[in-house]
Amino acid sequence: MYGIAILGFGVVGSGVAEVLEKNADRIALGAARELSLKYIVDIKDFPDSPYKHLLTRDFGAVERDPDVRVVVETIGGAGLAYEYTRRALEAGKSVVTSNKELVALHGCELLKLAKERGVNYLFEASVGGGIPILRPITQCLAANRIYEIYGILNGTTNYILTSMIKEGASFEAALKLAQDKGYAEADPSSDIDGIDACRKICILADLCFGRHMNPEWLKTVGIRTVTAADTVYAGRGGCKIKLLGRAVANGDGRVSAYVAPHLVPSENLLAGVDGVMNAIVVRGNAIGDVMFYGAGAGKLPTASAVVADIIDAAKHERSRKLISWEEGSPSMLRDSAELVSRWYARVAADEKTVLAAFPGAVALGGDGGETAFIAPGDSKAGIDGALSSFRVLSLFRVMD
């Protein structure tokens, strides 16, 4: 028997159970064996669930059962999830997860432990929900030196920004709408302050550049400061405002990585990625630019990626997947402020004054004594200096 245990019967965990049942024949074909869901571990009771006979609170039973070959960790967070993941790996079971917080914080260590025990730790669903992205990076782009990766990594903020752009809503109104629709949580800070996107760009950077990138090392700016006016001015410049996570190799082994709102020109396909969808661009020295697009969250899309990892773990029981990265340190980061790009600024000044101070700038209009414009390429220090005599209302990079 090739047994599966699911830890945490929330949205993703119950989606995994659903996909395992719904697509059982196709999954058995892919895994070249029958998979059997044997336990669901949760502290809550689910008296009406069709899976109630599998529910238990006792992780120890899972840990001791030799029939359980893959443990699906969909608890979330870095507390109990961390403990159970370690214990499952130590017990010689592969672990599959959608938990970006845990992978971003402890992925390096957990992959090392998996390697020691000859099992797999897989986490395709931790970035981009159901979008195939981690496996394509490690396998399909294995012949490339990847020099940059960036993308729309958080569906909640993309939904809010899309509402602001399409309906002219204020940030507060758009957030309220996202909460009403279930796309944003009651406490939305981990989404709207960029923390979720930061974890994901760290995991992508870990895989692309081979060294652990701690989310705490990155400058992370969310979307609270984006105004409806900014989205209108951006539109006049042929751009949409998107929250991007980005990591760029510097050529000297250092990496610039950060999360911030950007103006994305309409020629860039990311500008057309609306609502809760995610998309990730990878740039390699042979392939050029490739983009991966799809649902970045949601029950079944995320479960689709988790189950693909279960299939992979089942197929590779004796041949470990070669996914790993080295320990890292803050010294491998190059300050993202050094990156040169065009800048969008909104300042309390008239257009004439702005254009006199910024030769080559493109004015996007303004009213009530403010002017929005796009300034030519400069570093953060450079643009800050040039703006020092202005009262700055908004300042975002343009993704060129």
- Using the rule CB under 8 A, is 273 a contact of a copy of itself? yes
| 8 A C-beta contact, residue 236 and residue 362 | no
**Burial track 316-334 (b if 16+ CB lie within 10 A, e otherwise):** ebeebbebbbeebeeebbb
With DSSP H G I counted as helix, E B as strand and the rest as coil, what are the percentages for the chain, rounded to 5?
40, 25, 35
Taking residue 371's Cβ as centre, other Cβ atoms within 10 Å add up to 24
| 8 A C-beta contact, residue 310 and residue 119 | no
The length of the chain, given as a count of residues: 400
Residue from 305, 333, 347, 383 binding a copy of itself (CB under 8 A): 305
Distances, alpha carbon 53 to alpha carbons 60, 177, 261, 332, in Å:
17, 38, 47, 50
Taking residue 70's Cβ as centre, other Cβ atoms within 10 Å add up to 26
- Using the rule CB under 8 A, is 150 a contact of a copy of itself? no
- Using the rule CB under 8 A, is 143 a contact of a copy of itself? yes
Query: For residues 28-57, which are near a copy of itself according to CB under 8 A?
Result: 30-32
- Using the rule CB under 8 A, is 308 a contact of a copy of itself? yes
- Using the rule CB under 8 A, is 225 a contact of a copy of itself? no
Mapping DSSP to helix (H, G, I), strand (E, B) and coil, where does residue 164 land? helix
Query: For residues 192-221, which are near a copy of itself according to CB under 8 A?
Result: none
Rounded Cα distance between 234 and 303, Å, is 36
- Using the rule CB under 8 A, is 272 a contact of a copy of itself? yes
Cα dihedral 143, 316, 13, 44 in deg (nearest 10) = -140
Residue from 3, 194, 301, 328 binding a copy of itself (CB under 8 A): 301
Residue window 4-23: x/- pattern of binding to a copy of itself, with contact defined by CB under 8 A: ---------------x--xx
Residue window 91-130: x/- pattern of binding to a copy of itself, with contact defined by CB under 8 A: ---------------------------------x-----x
**Catalytic residue list:** 200
Residue from 57, 64, 145, 236 binding a copy of itself (CB under 8 A): 145
Residue from 53, 186, 322, 327 binding a copy of itself (CB under 8 A): 322
- Using the rule CB under 8 A, is 175 a contact of a copy of itself? no
| 8 A C-beta contact, residue 225 and residue 394 | yes
Q: Which stretch binds a copy of itself (CB under 8 A): 97-105, 170-178, 297-305, 372-380?
A: 297-305
Interacting residues toward a copy of itself by CB under 8 A: 19, 22-23, 26-27, 30-32, 124, 130-132, 135-136, 138-145, 266, 269, 271-273, 279, 284-295, 298, 300-301, 303-305, 307-308, 310-312, 315-316, 319, 322
